[in-house]
Structure 1
Amino acid sequence: MSKSKDKIRVSFKSSGAAEDVTGSCTVITWGKPERTILVDCGLIQGNQSLLKEYQANNARFSFKEKNVDYVFISHSHSDHTGRLSLLTKRGFNGKIVVPEGNKDIIRELSLDSAKIMLRDAEDLFRRFKKDYPPIYEESDVKNMVTLIKEYPFNEKIKLDDEVTFEFIPSGHIVGAAQLILYIKNGNITRKIAFTGDLGNLRTESYYANKFEPIQNANLLIGECTYANRERSVKAKDREKDLEKIQAFVRDVCVDGNGRILFPSFSLMRSQVMITILYDLFKNDPEFNIPIYVGSPLTCKINKIFDNVLTGKQLEKWQEVCTWDKLIFTSSFEDIETALSKNSPMLFVLSSGMLSGGFSPAVAEKLLPSSKDGIAFVGYSVEGTLAWKIKQKKTKTISINGKQIHSRCKVINLNSFSSHMQRDELCDYYSGGFGTGMYGKIVLQHGNKKDRIGLAADLQELISKRNRTDKVIIANKSTEILL
């Protein structure tokens, strides 16, 4: 077993997250005949042209799709699941292993992606007069969903003689997990751990499970989305944001008779925002303002929450949804009718970066009015419409080919990260949560420059704690042998 060809190989060749924060897809191979496992299979997203994004997501995988035995999914976000349907389209027919509560969400997000891909393909044809087939279609999604099987948390499950796994709560979003794989290769079993995306321990995580640390492993593959110190969020930042929301609603709606848009992603951000608005204003006698919550996808996710949440989380969600100020709609006609009234109201609409859904059209209506407002919830990728509006020096914004004067009031709510912050990442990976040794720690799912700084600080902290873990910064040529 000393020869490298006889060892377990962990490869990042097909993973966009090896060099950035999207497109997670780690490949594990071993044995004769060779066996293959994937951990996540996500879309590559970000600040690049439509054509480049199409080419990146439609590129060949570094493996033969039909030879993959299992795909393990950490959580339902599209940068971890969005290429599952492409994998199936190209011949994968194995099992997709997901934490309980994820199957229906993955289905709806993937169907939504298929619609977007069709529009993108049509747009590319118009621009370049060349056929660009959709990366996958709704029929591919439906085939993919038949391969999904849900499994419970905190239970060690044997799939076959060589593969055993366990899902551990990550605290990131509803149903999000870390993954422990036990791979038996001959007479040796290796323990490989994946953090997936980890939850923010500094702020309230509505509807997410509670993070639990993985105790030890031969290899830990860890996310570091918030490796940059400057992006760190403190608990007091959330308190300030809650005060900012109250003041903004009072200024724009109560005193100014205006309207506010909260651009919010359909999964988690929309549900969290309406919960926060409920907690802030449910007992306020002056608050008599309708809140429109919508998009077809958001409404579907809301219904799934009714089925996947349990206990106190379900009680809280049902309590929020019965608030008489909330108006749920999947019809944009309802939004247009509301806008025509020109009276105080709030909108919680997708998408969060104004890249699709109902929010761009509402932003177009509110931007020219100095009495209206937009409250951006969380980070916006550079180059997106949300990012452009946030740049206060920009006086004119282009939306759907129209030049719109930017006069409305704008606030940024920066405490709504659902990722573990830098200091906690260092603490977790260096054993500060009472964990044992990890052997090798591979950092992925983060900006490359930021990962370099995090790796240096992490290795120093590991030494101070008299540990011998080795920190590795992933790239697409990284291959770990176990």
Structure 2
Amino acid sequence: MKLSFHGAAGGVTGSCHMLKANGRTILVDCGLFQGGHELDEDNSAPFGFDPATVDVLLLTHAHLDHCGRIPLLVDRGFDGEIICTAATRDLARLVMLDSAHLHEEEARRARRHGKQKAPLYDTLDALTAMDLFGRVAEYEQPLDLGRGITATFHDAGHILGSASIALDVTEDGQSRRILFSGDIGPRERPLLNSPVPPGGADFVVMESTYGDRDHRSLGASVTEFHDAVAEAWGRGGNVVIPTFALERAQELLFYLREGLQKGEFPKGLRVFLDSPMAISATKLFKQHPDALKPELAAMLRGGRDPFDLPELEFTRDASESMEINRLRGGAVIMAGSGMCTGGRVRHHLRHNLPHADNSVIFVGFAAEGTLARIIIDGARTVKLFGREIPVRAKIHTINGFSAHAGQSDLVDWHNRSGKPQRTFLVHGEDDSRTALARALPGKIELPGLHDAYTL
């Protein structure tokens, strides 16, 4: 058996791992590299393998850094089966179509400035990729991949439908289990169940995003979030929340609803979900109650909406989004993207960052080089749409909402996976990987891009 790494090897984006066994080639995830424009070349570069040789693609979940290069994979020759959970399939369709639209728009923008740039892939490529989605995985139910290989999806507790995937391989009369963690959620979550790794893993490929630290407790984070919103209201300002469309947007709606019920802020607070993808994702949450915690599923089946707010407005159209920027106070504006690498949030930042009565609340991971990280790190001005924008708004960073497990939860997950011979740490910056390596038992590997190992 040979295991190789073609993304998220020394960084937190572009997840793409390959297992070759018994004459079969299995790919786990095929994500987009995210950060600055300098990563455009990484995304368009060769994969490090021939896509036409891949038999099966197993998708752990629908975040862009795990599914965002699937249309490109298909365009370059992959025609095998894509397997994932039902919720991941529906969310991946949203994510890939949105990504295709952004690539097309970026190419059009470049042409308007006299530059020739082709999109990484287009809408047709994304739709063609969807045609390859085949069997739907259910948690804990093995799927036969042929030639003595089975795949079993286990709840990873990260986003709706997310999974860790165990590959059981019988080769030369010997059976071994290779466990791919995908992204692992924390044990303390409002909407999803806790991650459930299988035991008995001989080899583990494991994410390490927060391998060097634990998060603040969820209760304290919710209190801080409510206080930050109330403070901005008291100052007469707006709140801008750069929001990941999948999971984070729905969690924040849930907590805003709780805050209103508890009287944490006035009932007249206007909340805008200014993200077509987040709006669609919220609807998909309601269509997959079985992927949620039992109490949330019961609410939905009973006709109660855990994401509904009295003054909630969904803004799909760009014209509606532009109108929000006329508001000088009393609004909570949730818009993508979470790392501020694109999307409508950049327009809202341009209008709200210069005013000291406003607040910007970051509630997720921000990779090196992204606008979110630049603001979090204390920049006094940022460049938006060709202009230097002063940063006078109050900046909050609340890490307790992360959909990623902190170090203690990662160690616990690893302990429950068995006693692996080797663990390969991926999806983490080097400081995080190194810190987690020190905290885990057994032989730990820190693979680089395109590194390959014989198991």
Task: Please report the TM-score for the alignment, with normalisation by the length of structure 2.
Answer: 0.91
Of 15, 29, 52, which aligns to 1:24? 15
Q: Say whether 1:134 aligns with 2:110.
A: no
Query: Are the equivalent residues in 2 in contact too, given 1:258–1:373 (CA < 8 A)?
Result: yes
Give the aligned partner of residue 175 of structure 1: 161
Of 367, 390, 399, which aligns to 1:414? 399
The offset of 1:389, in angstroms, is 3.0
Q: Say whether 1:335 aligns with 2:321.
A: yes
Of 152, 173, 178, which aligns to 1:166? 152
The AA in structure 2 aligned to 1:152 is E
Which 10-residue stretch deviates more, 165-174 or 440-449? 440-449
The offset of 1:315, in angstroms, is 4.6
The AA in structure 2 aligned to 1:148 is F
The offset of 1:124, in angstroms, is 5.3
CA distance in 2, matches of 1:192, 1:454: 19
Name which structure has the greater RCO, CA cutoff 8 Å, separation 6+: 2
Of 245, 248, 251, which aligns to 1:272? 251
CA distance in 1, matches of 2:47, 2:339: 29
Give the aligned partner of residue 451 of structure 2: 478
Give the aligned partner of residue 213 of structure 1: 197
Give the aligned partner of residue 186 of structure 2: 200
Encode CA deviations 1:403-430: one digit per residue, 9 max, x unaligned. 323222222212121111112323432x
The AA in structure 2 aligned to 1:217 is A
Q: Say whether 1:299 aligns with 2:272.
A: no
Give the aligned partner of residue 11 of structure 1: 4
Query: Are the equivalent residues in 2 in contact too, given 1:171–1:198 (CA < 8 A)?
Result: yes
**Counterparts in 2 of 1:28 and 1:365: CA distance versus 1, 3 Å:** same
CA distance in 1, matches of 2:216, 2:383: 34
Q: Decide which structure has the larger Cα Rg and report it.
A: 1
Give the aligned partner of residue 455 of structure 1: 437
Of 411, 428, 439, which aligns to 1:446? 428
The AA in structure 2 aligned to 1:474 is P
Give the aligned partner of residue 228 of structure 1: 212
Encode CA deviations 1:334-390: one digit per residue, 9 max, x unaligned. 233344354412111112222222211112221222222222212323333323333
The count of aligned residue pairs is: 447
SS at structure 2 position matched to 1:415: helix
The AA in structure 2 aligned to 1:86 is L
Q: Say whether 1:281 aligns with 2:260.
A: yes
Of 284, 296, 301, which aligns to 1:313? 296
The AA in structure 1 aligned to 2:209 is T
Query: Are the equivalent residues in 1 in contact too, given 2:8–2:427 (CA < 8 A)?
Result: yes
Superposition pairs of residues 289-438 of structure 1, within 5 angstroms: 289-310=269-290, 311-316=294-299, 318-392=304-378, 394-429=379-414, 431=415, 433=416, 435-438=417-420
Query: Are the equivalent residues in 2 in contact too, given 1:369–1:408 (CA < 8 A)?
Result: yes
CA distance in 2, matches of 1:132, 1:395: 32
SS at structure 2 position matched to 1:321: coil
CA distance in 1, matches of 2:51, 2:215: 40
SS at structure 2 position matched to 1:103: helix
Which 10-residue stretch deviates more, 415-424 or 84-93? 415-424
Query: Are the equivalent residues in 2 in contact too, given 1:270–1:350 (CA < 8 A)?
Result: no
Query: Are the equivalent residues in 2 in contact too, given 1:23–1:42 (CA < 8 A)?
Result: yes
SS at structure 2 position matched to 1:18: coil
CA distance in 1, matches of 2:209, 2:165: 18
Encode CA deviations 1:249-308: one digit per residue, 9 max, x unaligned. 33221x333221122111111111111111112242843211111221111212211212
CA distance in 2, matches of 1:344, 1:452: 44
Which 10-residue stretch deviates more, 117-126 or 107-116? 117-126
Q: Say whether 1:43 aligns with 2:28.
A: no
Identical aligned residues as a percent? 28
**Counterparts in 2 of 1:280 and 1:214: CA distance versus 1, 3 Å:** same
Query: Are the equivalent residues in 2 in contact too, given 1:182–1:192 (CA < 8 A)?
Result: yes
Query: Are the equivalent residues in 2 in contact too, given 1:166–1:180 (CA < 8 A)?
Result: yes
CA distance in 2, matches of 1:365, 1:316: 38
The offset of 1:37, in angstroms, is 0.9
The offset of 1:159, in angstroms, is 3.2
CA distance in 1, matches of 2:430, 2:390: 36
CA distance in 1, matches of 2:177, 2:150: 10
The offset of 1:197, in angstroms, is 0.8
CA distance in 2, matches of 1:356, 1:370: 24
CA distance in 2, matches of 1:156, 1:207: 26
Task: Please report the TM-score for the alignment, with normalisation by the length of structure 1.
Answer: 0.86
SS at structure 2 position matched to 1:108: helix
CA distance in 1, matches of 2:321, 2:118: 33
The AA in structure 1 aligned to 2:295 is K
Q: Say whether 1:154 aligns with 2:140.
A: yes
Of 207, 219, 226, which aligns to 1:239? 219
Unpaired segments of 5 or more residues in structure 2?
none
**Counterparts in 2 of 1:128 and 1:225: CA distance versus 1, 3 Å:** farther
The AA in structure 1 aligned to 2:74 is T
CA distance in 1, matches of 2:329, 2:434: 51
Give the aligned partner of residue 5 of structure 1: none
The offset of 1:186, in angstroms, is 4.2
Give the aligned partner of residue 466 of structure 1: none
Of 129, 150, 165, which aligns to 1:144? 129
Query: Are the equivalent residues in 1 in contact too, given 2:51–2:73 (CA < 8 A)?
Result: yes
**Counterparts in 2 of 1:190 and 1:390: CA distance versus 1, 3 Å:** closer
**Counterparts in 2 of 1:405 and 1:471: CA distance versus 1, 3 Å:** closer
The offset of 1:242, in angstroms, is 2.5
Of 217, 228, 235, which aligns to 1:256? 235
Query: Are the equivalent residues in 2 in contact too, given 1:173–1:207 (CA < 8 A)?
Result: no
SS at structure 2 position matched to 1:102: helix
